[in-house]
Structure 1
Amino acid sequence: MSESPLISPFPEPDRPNIPHWLHWLDTCPSTNTIAIARAAQLKHGDVVFTKRQTSGRGQHGRTWHAPTGVLTASFVLDNLNTNLLPGLSLAVGLAVIYAIEDLVADCRTLLRLKWPNDIWIDRRKLAGILCEATSSNVSATTRAVVGIGINLCVDFDLRGLDASAIGNAVSLHSIASQVPDELCLLDRLRQYLLELAHMFHKNDKPAGKSGLARLLPELQHRDALFGCPVAIELSDKTIYGQATGIDEGGRLRLRLEGDRIQAFASGRVRLKN
């Protein structure tokens, strides 16, 4: 009986200069799905990458469209503190911003984080993040699979994706004079995520040095929603208010009627017209 493609060994790379941590697949349904299914074959810092993702997943069960030209990868981070995981996607967002800005001078100071998991430039979506917690089959510790999709060089019109399907997305090649090499960008992302993993590590640290605590000033600086009128869609209702920032737990704070502040841990947020 042949092995399932989800649990078969990773193929040996046929490309020169592929680092030991990178598992390169020509195509796959979802890099997150593969990373979770093949947990026993992966270790801390490993990356699953594909040129063509056919069934990508986004937040709240939505489809993540990843045509040719979208960098799609999942990063494995081990031994994380479960109590800090609610803020992980925001911290990953900063890592994505730093990695892009390091390599693309045209984007420096322009990228913003749209709570809870999108990267914006001029209020258009450049990248998305999907963090999924799982148990490591190897060490029985908390593992996060961090899926990242970045629109590097993609023609959405050519692929038949209109604005409603892609959430007003933008491709990096249309706004920057250069697009970084995929391997260079993956390496830079990995470096930042390994640094971030230390802040979310399982071992106890002083409150001011763990999780989002150290990152709050930069989160406030990069917060695309701060001061904006927004609508947050919950499972049973939609709430309107003014975004007033992100707290240490990664929750979005809204000012509601009567000047009352309420924090939300999840929900789909859109700018109110």
Structure 2
Amino acid sequence: MVDYSALELLNGVDYSILESTTSTNDYLTTLPFSKDIKVCIAREQTAGKGQYQRIWLSKKDSSVLLSLRYPFPTKIALNGLSLAMGLSVIDVLERAYHLDHLKLKWPNDIYFKDQKLAGILIENSVQNDQQSVVIGLGLNHQLGTDFECDTPWTDLSNICPTLPNLVDLHEKIINNFLKSCQRFEQHGFSTFKAQWHQHDYLLGKQLELNYQDQKIIGTANGVNEHGALIIKTNNAVIEAY
């Protein structure tokens, strides 16, 4: 059993450790609306959530499964926030654990080479002048050889020279999330854009997507100042949110 009693978060942020839950995002979104920052960590998720109603698969004590609830004023546009949070995770993995070959697949997945390592899901609710934004992260730590998933995947045990301590990893990621949220609130996505360019998984790749009820085929050409994906087609440049 993982012992989180030594966890130290910036500014004494309140956190909950759950033995098991449907998803950490669900836990925080069902709490009463509040301007307080709150963190939830789970040893196990029974119905982990991914983007576009997909399921996030994991095993008990084998992944980083956490969510951060952060209050943003309603005047703050959240475009690009999932990209900024993905970069926040990569920053920790590169600086603290000396990983490279990490890429971000717009809008919310972290890849090691061509294998998925982590994903981010953002949900928010609005009340008066405040947004209660929940930022969820699933990061594969040590899933084991018996783990089955249709998507090509990897975990830190396969790519790190020394496997990070799970509690230390949670602490570093959460504290960097808090710093990145403050930076995003002050400056938006624009200050993250250069870093995104260095880690852009889709850059230069051919894409096919549905856009305004039409099938679009084009080439990914980075993101704009607000985190929208730029796609060049034969006769247009499209910015997709």
Task: Check whether TM > 0.5.
Answer: yes
Shift of 1:40: 5.1
Aligned partner letter, 2:110: I
Larger Rg: 1
Distance 1:37 1:229, change over 3 A: same
Contact 1:113 1:224 in 2 (8 A): yes
Return the match for 1:94 from 66, 78, 87: 87
Return the match for 2:170 from 179, 186, 190: 186
Q: Counterpart of 1:262?
A: 238
Shift of 1:238: 3.5
Return the match for 1:135 from 126, 130, 149: 126
Contact 1:80 1:200 in 2 (8 A): no
Describe the SS at the equivalent of 1:185: helix
**Per-residue CA distance 1:5-53 (angstroms, 9 max, x = gap):** xxxxxxxxx8643446331001111100001112458821x21001110
Q: Distance in 2 between matches of 1:173 and 1:31?
A: 23
Contact 1:152 1:172 in 2 (8 A): yes
Q: Distance in 2 between matches of 1:130 and 1:36?
A: 12
Distance 1:235 1:67, change over 3 A: farther
Q: Distance in 2 between matches of 1:70 and 1:219?
A: 24
**Within 5 A, what are the aligned runs for 1:1-273?**
16-19=5-8, 21-39=14-32, 43-44=36-37, 46-68=38-60, 69-105=62-98, 107-108=99-100, 110-135=101-126, 141-155=130-144, 158-159=146-147, 161-162=148-149, 164=150, 167-201=151-185, 210-233=187-210, 236-258=213-235, 260-265=236-241
Aligned partner letter, 2:49: R
Q: Which runs of 5+ in 2 are unaligned?
A: none
Report the TM-score when normalising by structure 2: 0.88
Q: Percent identity?
A: 26
Contact 1:35 1:42 in 2 (8 A): no
Structure scoring higher RCO (CA < 8 A, sep ≥ 6) equals: 2
Distance 1:42 1:25, change over 3 A: farther
Contact 1:82 1:142 in 2 (8 A): no
Query: Number of residue pairs matched?
Result: 234
